């Protein structure tokens, strides 16, 4: 009996703890590798907000797979702002009526305060001489990539390769699909996620090339050592955006719109932009981009909107069940 | 010679069984455990300790233990009740009932979480009502407890049913016919008999409650320092390229599993004392 | 003898009532909700999803690997449980405690660790791969991960039952001239068979749903090493909750039927042993004497 009573009080305690929220708390639901960016950014904003308004603000972070995070928000996770790495995830929230329909216009630069690109990570000295997407289909080359249907990394890689193939002489959707078919034949496994792909490539020494975000190359260096690999920029690659949005439904209920707006606006400030650059994300601010030029070599990029007519459309054509990715596998 | 062999295995059989059993455990359990600690200690003990001192890791440890403790009494009560009804009585549809009890095992943890989102989520069946009454279940600790209850539901019952079936009901029947009340029979006859099975069940469901990732991950909301259990925290640390931190946290979970070593030893010791006492007091009498 | 003494023992109504209420609230209500959700799709569409080439391949991989892993665990688990109960050896307590490890270790950690061990340059992989045995990133890897994840089930269900076998039965069989093997196969094994089946059933059903550890070691190639839970995640990534629940319901239905069969078998074997065979008869039969 005592056991029962104790457990009930434990549950009650947890309930109370869950319901008690300080009046100015913001919850930022974000993708899983975003911690470094916001770990440094949040204190910057707290300081700025305190100076400006005298109000101290508590900032909470939630990290997880991008689409899983937005599904949680749609199912009731009370995040004031979402900071994601895929536009179609915010699109989903807009469809559900949680985020403004024209969310990408609510902030500058397509609501993405910084960008990154997809790059090749090759072994020391680049023994297979991999320079561009075309080299990836050579026989004997093994490409390590996370699952294109289930991970942002994988999708960006797939779309980058597709865009490159379309832009080749005489290239069209059909030739691009053939190219990807050949490319996927050189993929020995689909890693569970971006981080898992890195472990497979660096630690388990599988494959000749890993395709990932430019910003992640730095994290790889931190864990595995800089001299262990080389970064190769292909002739054309995707400019990946990191869209942000206010969750209207939540801020209206909690009365935190003002703070949420300021929190996201501040990402475009000098301090916010510099913090992004320090975390190896390409800032929108031209001056800062110049200042950090050594770390961000110029590269020819495309955006998903230009080549695929929007993130949602790209997703539907290529990664939904029966899309181009599935077609490649079922035909085989 | 046969007389010697008959209640024990021949020496070579023992050796082979020991070699096969221990070899199997070494390759499938020992090496992975070793690998976890090797990764966790890759940069030495100080870095390992620092990784564990991180406040978010500590709050994850606390939450993990709280959830495991909250789940325990529910599981024990259900496990004993279900096993009692199923093992000691005959009724129609027994196999069906057992199968229903097994069902949570067959539900992919990912789906198990989803199931509760469908019920309690903002777009779920009870979502609007809960929101109107400001009750948080999903993306808060109660939801995580419910999901863990679901995942660990069958353990104790399933542990006890075969044991109680094998024991039969003679002893309880004897107790009742000698005039013992239901509770007396339970405390003095049934419980001592099933102690071991109950303990194994508790240990298993406890380990599972602490280690569960999939279902809890779906309903947690992943708020750092608030709704992150250790397994969730491990994943996040790993994804953030903090392998040391991730494996250090995982090693804590492994150590928590080894805590059962202590629990078992204590129970074993107490039981030995008890049986010794019983043996001196009572002459062994058997109903067969 | 059997079945009649319903009334002698108390607490049937209370125990069964509580069991049914708790079961309904925690398990049947949520699962029923899921089935209801999936039924929004309509029967035809659910069948289409279940019978697509990808789904069928995934079902084959998932159920095949799970059966294999559960069978291997039943075999090795019996040996492990036996030596843990009957033999003494140095470090036994530690080994005993180790058995619970797979549950406590988050499945992702298990998957990452196992694929590191079994990859071409891993502690084990480097010796296996020259022999032509590839584990990581093949369907073999799935079996290895599932063996790890479900290992405690068989061992932990068998342990208390083996502990419970009365030594006088064994002695009786032996004194009637049964060899050790005869005693085991005719007296001990029938006694532990229900528990072994239970362990097998639990290991199997747990394996079918496992996701976290498998995706790190499977390789996840469509049609080859793709498991059903991965397809469910794929659907969720497309925000296709309906499709995901449909697949989940089909999976659940298959598991349910298999479990029901196993449990029926278990119930039947337990009853046969308990009711039709008094211990003396079993001992006698073990010794080759007519019962």
Please report, in tens digits, the pLDDT of each residue of chain B (288 residues total): 344 446 778 889 999 999 999 999 999 999 999 999 999 998 899 999 998 888 989 999 999 999 999 999 999 999 999 999 999 998 988 889 999 998 888 888 888 889 999 999 988 889 899 988 988 899 999 999 999 999 999 989 988 998 898 888 889 999 999 988 889 999 999 998 898 889 888 888 888 899 888 889 989 989 988 899 999 999 888 888 888 899 999 998 888 877 766 776 776 677 677 667 766 665 444 443
Residue of A nearest to C218 (CA): A189
Question: Which of A31, A30, A29, A35 has its CA nearest to residue A219?
Answer: A35
Whether A129 and A232 map to the same domain: the answer is: yes
pLDDT value of position B84: 94
Residue of A nearest to C244 (CA): A321
| Residues spanned by the domain of A175 | 118-238+300-331
Distance to chain B for A318, nearest Cα, Å:
24
Count Cβ atoms within 10 A of the Cβ of residue C51 and give its class: 0-12 exposed, 13-18 middle, 19 or more buried. exposed
Q: Which residues contact A111 (CB under 8 A, 6 or more apart)?
A: A90, A103, A104, A105, A243, A244, A245
Token pair belonging to A69? 């995070």
pLDDT value of position B278: 65
DSSP state of C89: -
The mean predicted confidence, pLDDT, of chain A is: 90
Residue of C nearest to B239 (CA): C108
* CA atoms of C23 and B150, how far apart (whole Å): 10
pLDDT value of position B280: 67
pLDDT value of position B111: 87
pLDDT value of position A16: 45
Residues lower than pLDDT 70 in chain C: 1-7, 270, 272-291
Helix, strand or coil for residue A61? Answer: strand
Cβ separation C96–B261 shorter than 8 A: yes
Q: Determine contact: B157 vs chain A, CB below 8 A.
A: no
CA distance readout (Å), A318 to A92, A175, A322, B257: 17, 15, 8, 44
Token pair belonging to C51? 């019978």
Whether A198 and A324 map to the same domain: the answer is: yes
Pairing of strands A244-246, A229-232: unpaired
pLDDT value of position C194: 87
* CA atoms of B109 and B113, how far apart (whole Å): 6
CA distance readout (Å), C148 to A308, B28, B204, C63, C125: 44, 6, 14, 16, 16
Among the partner residues C23, C103, C114, nearest to B204 by beta-carbon distance: C103
Is pLDDT larger for residue A6 or for residue B95?
A: B95
Q: How many independent structural domains does chain A possess? A: 2
Pairing of strands A143-146, A190-191: parallel
Q: Cβ(C83)–Cβ(B17) under 8 Å?
A: yes
Buried b (16+ CB within 10 A) or exposed e, B206-235: bbbbbbbbbbbbbbbbbbbbbbbbbbbbbb
Whether A149 and A192 map to the same domain: the answer is: yes
Whether A189 and A315 map to the same domain: the answer is: yes
CA distance readout (Å), C205 to A130, A248, B48, B101, C110: 45, 43, 36, 12, 19
Q: Cβ(C118)–Cβ(C128) under 8 Å?
A: yes
Q: Please report where in the chains the tokens 């009804």 appear, as a residue.
A: B85
pLDDT value of position C280: 55
SS3 content of chain A, % helix, strand, coil (to 5): 50, 15, 30
Distance to chain A for B221, nearest Cα, Å:
6
Whether A190 and A315 map to the same domain: the answer is: yes
Touching A: C residues 154-213, CB under 8 Å: none
Helix, strand or coil for residue B198? Answer: helix
Q: Cβ(A217)–Cβ(A281) under 8 Å?
A: no
pLDDT value of position A8: 46
Question: Which of A250, B134, B163 has its CA nearest to residue C159?
Answer: B163
CA distance readout (Å), C61 to A244, B89, C151, C215, C218: 40, 39, 19, 13, 11
Share of chain A above pLDDT 90, in %: 78
Whether A85 and A234 map to the same domain: the answer is: no
Whether A62 and A199 map to the same domain: the answer is: no
Whether A81 and A193 map to the same domain: the answer is: no
pLDDT value of position A15: 45
ipTM of the complex in this document:
0.84
Q: Cβ(C143)–Cβ(C249) under 8 Å?
A: no
Helices H / strands E in chain C, number of each: 16, 0
Cβ separation A76–B131 shorter than 8 A: yes
Whether A95 and A161 map to the same domain: the answer is: no
Q: Determine contact: A85 vs chain C, CB below 8 A.
A: no
Chains that touch C (3 or more CB pairs under 8 A): A, B
* CA atoms of C109 and C192, how far apart (whole Å): 33
Query: If you count them, how many residues does chain C have?
Result: 291
DSSP state of B187: I
Whether A278 and A190 map to the same domain: the answer is: no
pLDDT value of position B287: 40
Q: Cβ(C209)–Cβ(C230) under 8 Å?
A: no
Is pLDDT larger for residue B280 or for residue A60?
A: A60
Which H or E element spans position B205?
Answer: helix B191-211
Distance to chain B for C70, nearest Cα, Å:
13
pLDDT value of position C176: 86
* CA atoms of C84 and A51, how far apart (whole Å): 66
Touching C: B residues 204-263, CB under 8 Å: 204, 207-208, 210-214, 230-231, 234-235, 238, 246-247, 250, 253-254, 256-258, 260-261
Where residue A322 sits, what CATH number does that domain have?
3.40.190.10
Helix, strand or coil for residue A263? Answer: helix
Pairing of strands A209-213, A282-283: unpaired
Whether A217 and A231 map to the same domain: the answer is: yes
**Interval A116-134: pLDDT, tens:** 999 999 999 999 999 999 9
Interface test with A, best of C48, C58, C111, C115 (most A CBs within 10 A): C115
Whether A62 and A109 map to the same domain: the answer is: yes
Q: Please report where in the chains the tokens 């079994």 appear, as a residue.
A: C118
Alpha helix positions (H), B107-140: 109-120, 127-132
* CA atoms of A232 and C8, how far apart (whole Å): 79
């Amino acid at each position: 009996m005592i056991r029962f009573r104790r457990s009930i009080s434990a549950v009650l305690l947890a309930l109370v703890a869950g319901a008690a929220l300080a009046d100015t708390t913001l919850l930022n639901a974000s993708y899983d590798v975003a911690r470094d960016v916001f770990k440094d950014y949040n204190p910057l904003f707290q300081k700025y907000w305190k100076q400006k308004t005298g109000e101290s603000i508590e900032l909470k972070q939630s990290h997880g797979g991008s689409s899983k995070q937005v599904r949680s928000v749609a199912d009731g996770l009370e995040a004031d702002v979402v900071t994601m790495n895929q536009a179609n995830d915010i699109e989903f929230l807009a469809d559900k009526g949680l985020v403004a329909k024209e969310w990408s216009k609510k902030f500058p630069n397509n609501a993405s305060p910084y960008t990154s690109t997809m790059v090749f990570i090759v072994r020391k000295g680049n023994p297979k001489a991999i320079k561009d997407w075309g080299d990836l289909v050579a026989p004997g080359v093994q490409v390590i990539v996370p699952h294109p249907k289930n991970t942002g990394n994988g999708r960006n890689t797939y779309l980058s390769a597709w865009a490159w193939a379309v832009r080749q002489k005489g290239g069209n959707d059909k030739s691009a699909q053939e190219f990807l078919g050949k490319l996927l034949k050189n993929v020995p496994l689909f890693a569970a996620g971006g981080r898992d792909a890195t472990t497979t490539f660096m630690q388990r020494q599988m494959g000749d090339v890993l395709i990932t975000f430019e910003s992640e190359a730095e994290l790889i260096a931190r864990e595995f050592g800089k001299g262990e690999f080389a970064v190769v920029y292909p002739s054309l690659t995707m400019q990946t955006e990191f869209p942000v949005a206010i969750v209207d439904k939540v801020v209206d209920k909690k009365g935190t719109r003002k703070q949420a707006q300021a929190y996201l606006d501040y990402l475009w400030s000098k301090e916010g932009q510099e913090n992004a650059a320090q975390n190896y994300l390409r800032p929108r601010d031209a001056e800062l981009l110049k200042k950090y030029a050594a770390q961000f070599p110029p590269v020819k990029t495309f955006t998903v909107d230009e080549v695929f007519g929007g993130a949602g459309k790209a997703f539907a054509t290529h990664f939904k069940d029966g899309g181009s990715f599935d077609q490649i596998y079922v035909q085989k | 010679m046969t007389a010697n062999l008959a209640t024990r295995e021949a020496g070579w059989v023992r050796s082979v069984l020991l070699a096969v059993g221990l070899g199997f455990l070494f390759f499938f359990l020992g090496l992975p455990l070793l690998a976890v600690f090797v990764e966790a200690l890759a940069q030495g003990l100080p870095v390992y300790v620092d990784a564990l001192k991180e406040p978010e890791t500590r709050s994850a440890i606390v939450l993990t233990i709280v959830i495991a403790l909250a789940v325990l009494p529910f599981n024990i009560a259900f496990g004993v009740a279900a096993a009692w009804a199923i093992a000691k009585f005959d009724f129609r549809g027994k196999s069906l009932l057992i199968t229903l009890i097994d069902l949570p095992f067959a539900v992919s943890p990912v789906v198990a979480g989803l199931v509760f989102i469908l019920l309690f989520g903002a777009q779920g069946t009870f979502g609007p009502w809960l929101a109107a009454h400001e009750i948080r279940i999903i993306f808060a600790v109660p939801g995580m407890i419910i999901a863990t209850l679901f995942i660990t539901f069958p353990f104790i019952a399933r542990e006890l049913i075969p044991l109680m079936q094998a024991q039969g009901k003679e002893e309880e029947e004897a107790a009742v016919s000698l005039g013992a009340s239901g509770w007396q029979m339970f405390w003095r006859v049934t419980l001592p008999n099933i102690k071991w099975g109950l303990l194994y069940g508790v240990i298993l469901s406890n380990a599972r409650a602490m280690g569960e990732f999939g279902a809890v991950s779906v309903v947690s909301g992943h708020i750092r320092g608030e709704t992150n259990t250790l397994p969730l925290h491990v994943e996040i640390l790993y994804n953030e390229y903090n392998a040391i931190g991730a494996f250090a946290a995982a090693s804590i979970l492994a150590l928590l599993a080894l805590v059962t070593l202590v629990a078992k030893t204590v129970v074993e010791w107490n039981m030995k004392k008890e049986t010794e006492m019983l043996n001196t007091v009572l002459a062994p009498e058997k109903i067969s | 003898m059997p079945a009649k003494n319903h009334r002698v023992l108390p607490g049937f109504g209370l125990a069964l009532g509580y069991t049914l209420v708790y079961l309904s609230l925690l398990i049947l209500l949520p699962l029923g909700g899921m089935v209801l959700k999936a039924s929004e799709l309509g029967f035809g569409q659910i069948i289409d999803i279940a019978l697509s080439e990808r789904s069928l391949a995934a079902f084959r991989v998932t159920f095949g690997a799970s059966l294999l892993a559960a069978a291997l665990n039943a075999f090795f688990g019996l040996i492990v449980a036996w030596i843990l109960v009957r033999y003494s050896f140095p470090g036994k307590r530690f080994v005993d405690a180790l058995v619970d490890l797979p549950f406590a270790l988050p499945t992702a950690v298990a998957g990452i660790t196992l694929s590191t061990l079994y990859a071409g340059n891993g502690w084990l992989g480097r010796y296996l791969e020259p022999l032509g045995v590839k584990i990581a990133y093949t369907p073999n890897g799935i079996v290895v991960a599932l063996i790890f994840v479900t290992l405690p089930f068989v061992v932990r269900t068998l342990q208390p039952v083996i502990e419970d076998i009365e030594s006088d039965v064994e002695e009786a069989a032996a004194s009637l001239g049964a060899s050790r093997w005869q005693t085991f196969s005719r007296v001990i094994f029938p006694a532990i068979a229900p528990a072994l089946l239970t362990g097998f059933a639990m290991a199997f059903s747990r394996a079918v749903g496992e996701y976290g550890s498998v995706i790190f070691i499977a390789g996840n190639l469509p049609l080859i090493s793709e498991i059903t839970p991965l397809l469910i995640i794929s659907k969720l990534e497309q925000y296709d909750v309906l499709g995901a629940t449909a697949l989940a319901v089909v999976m659940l239905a298959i598991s349910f039927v298999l479990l029901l069969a196993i449990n029926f078998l278990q119930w039947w074997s337990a009853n046969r042993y308990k009711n039709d065979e008094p211990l003396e008869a079993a001992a006698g039969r073990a010794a080759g004497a007519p019962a």
